[in-house]
Every structure is written in C-alpha cells, then in structure tokens.
Amino acid sequence: MAERCPLCGSPEATERFRAGEARLLGCPGCGLGRLEALPSAEELAARYGEADVCTDREGVFKEMELYRQRFSARLREMSRHAARGRLLDVGCSVGYFVRLASEAGWEAEGQDIARRAAAVGRSAFDVKISVGSLRELAFPGDSFDAVTMWHVIEHLPDPVGEIAEVSRILRRGGLLAIETPDAGSRAARSRKERWHYFKPEQHLFYYSLRPLSALLGRHGFEILARRSVGGTGFAAGLRRAGAGGAAEKLVALARKLATLRRAVVGLRGIMGLNDALLVYARKR
C-alpha cells in the first residue's frame, strides 16, 4: 500500500513506470510524481554530506564560468521582481550562485547539507554557507528578501515542510525563485525512464506546473512569472565530467559551444523541447 500524496493527501497513486528497482508513482489528485520508496534523512545526509566536489580553488572558479551566463540571467530577472537585499540560496553546493549574487549586490548566503562542498565554497569564494537542513538551521522568521532553489526541490524528501519553512523565513512580499525539471514537458512524457532528469538516486519528486503551483499556493505564494527553460543538463554534465579534474578544458569547450548553444536554446524553446520549469513567486 503506497503512502498518501504529501501534497494533496490522496491515497490513490498510479504507476507511471518502473526502472530497475525504482517505481515512479503519479498522484491522480494533484499530478505530483514521486518515487515509491523515499530515502530517509539519514541516508540523504550520508549521500550528499561528503559528495565529491572539485576541491582546488582555481578549479572551482573555472567551474563557476559554466554557470555564470545562466545565473547572471536569473539575477537580472530577479531584479525585476525584487529590490536587492538578503538572499538565501537553498541547496547552494559550493556556492556559485551565492558568489555571483554577492557580486550583483545582494547580501547573499547559502545553505546545503553537503558539508564538503560548503567547506570548499567558503574558502574559495569567501561566502557564508550554513550546513544542515533548513529546519535544523532555523533561520529567524521574516529574515530574507529572496530565497532561491535552483534544481533543488526535486531532491528534497519533504517538499511541503521545506516550502513551509521557506515561507516562514521570507519576509512578506519576499521573492521565491524555483527551477526544477518539468515532468509535464514533452521530453519527460515521451522519454519516461530514459528522460535525463529521471534520476531515482537523486530526484525524489517530479513536478509539473500544476503540483508546483499547488505547493506554492498552499503556503501563501503568488506566482509572478513562469516559463519553460532548458539546457541545464549541459552544464551539469560538463561539471560532473570535470569534477576534480579537467575543468579548464571543459570551460574552453563550453566557450566554443556557447554560440551554438545560444542558437540551440532558442530553437529548443520554439520547438517545445525545454524540459525544466522556472517560477518566480511572491509571499503574500
């Protein structure tokens, strides 16, 4: 007997597909997709705590270049919806976004359960990163002007509790930015277990616009803007390939491909191939 849907409480669940040991369930009530078997908080802490990251300072700065274009665009978009103030990047890893947000004038800090990544980020980027789950860290209420979650919410075993906590620590009128794989995208629906974002060892929940809107609405958020985006798998793939090593070569390759990629990103949008969701929401 499957657990109830954590978002809408429905006891019903339909199987979307199986892949090896993993079974993806869909909620007929709200559309949220979830793995049938979720890991415990302890398992996740063990999985992410000491996860391998590039550890040399020079390498980390080079890796940041893979993210600069995308994160700079996000920062420009955020400035349309919010005045720069205190920002928390949830699931910040080594803190690329924290660093770039600081450079853009935000008073930015990060949170992650990945202890090793946080240590590398602190020393390389001179940024503040707190280690622990959001609820363990218990930031003061109404203390942030913006919270960002870039490809993080799909990793969280208790998204409802997490968004409640985000809502608590954001001030009224504060901005929440979320990017997550779009399980409602054409790529996800047609490729099923072969979709590149179906990663049962990391991605526990699978959102489309409907359940994500329901999750945000339930915690008092009003959606300001949303759109389909794509192309993040590219940088992530390069990063994984380059972890601990040939970052320089990869950055050179990324630069060469940048022009081509801009054209491809535009084309993907036109052809409906984008497979991630980007949402900006305001706490009422």
Give the residues lining the site for Zn ion (CB under 5 A): 5, 7-8, 10, 27, 29-30, 32
Instruction: Kindly tell me which of 33 and 110 has the beta carbon lying closer to Zn ion.
Output: 33
Residue type, 61: F
CB of 64 to Zn ion, least distance (A): 37
CB of 5 to Zn ion, least distance (A): 3
Q: How far is the CB of 185 from Zn ion (least distance, A)?
A: 19
* Shortest distance in whole angstroms from residue 278 CB to Zn ion: 22
Nearer to Zn ion, 16 or 239 (CB): 16
Closest contact distance (angstroms) between CB of 83 and Zn ion is: 35
* Residue number, 29 or 85, with CB nearest to Zn ion: 29
For Zn ion, which is the closer residue by CB, 12 or 107?
12
Instruction: For Zn ion, give the closer residue by CB, 70 or 203.
Output: 203
SS (H, E, C) the chain: CCCCCCCCCCCCCEEEEEECCEEEEECCCCCCEEECCCCCHHHHHHHHHCCCCCCCHHHHHHHHHHHHHHHHHHHHHHHHHCCCCEEEEECCCCCHHHHHHHHCCCEEEEEECCHHHHHHHHHHHCCCEEECCHHHHCCCCCCEEEEEEECCHHHCCCHHHHHHHHHHHEEEEEEEEEEEEECCCHHHHHHHHHCCCCCCCCCCEEECHHHHHHHHHHCCEEEEEEEEECCHHHHHHHHHHHCCCCHHHHHHHHHHHHHHHHHHHHHHHHHCCCCEEEEEEEEC
Of residues 1 and 260, the one with the C-beta less far from Zn ion: 1
| Distance in Å, CB of 231 to Zn ion, minimum | 29
Question: Least separation, in Å, of the C-beta of 249 and Zn ion?
Answer: 45
Which residue number, 3 or 126, has a Cβ lying nearer to Zn ion?
A: 3
- For CA atoms 76, 282, 176, 86, the dihedral sign is positive
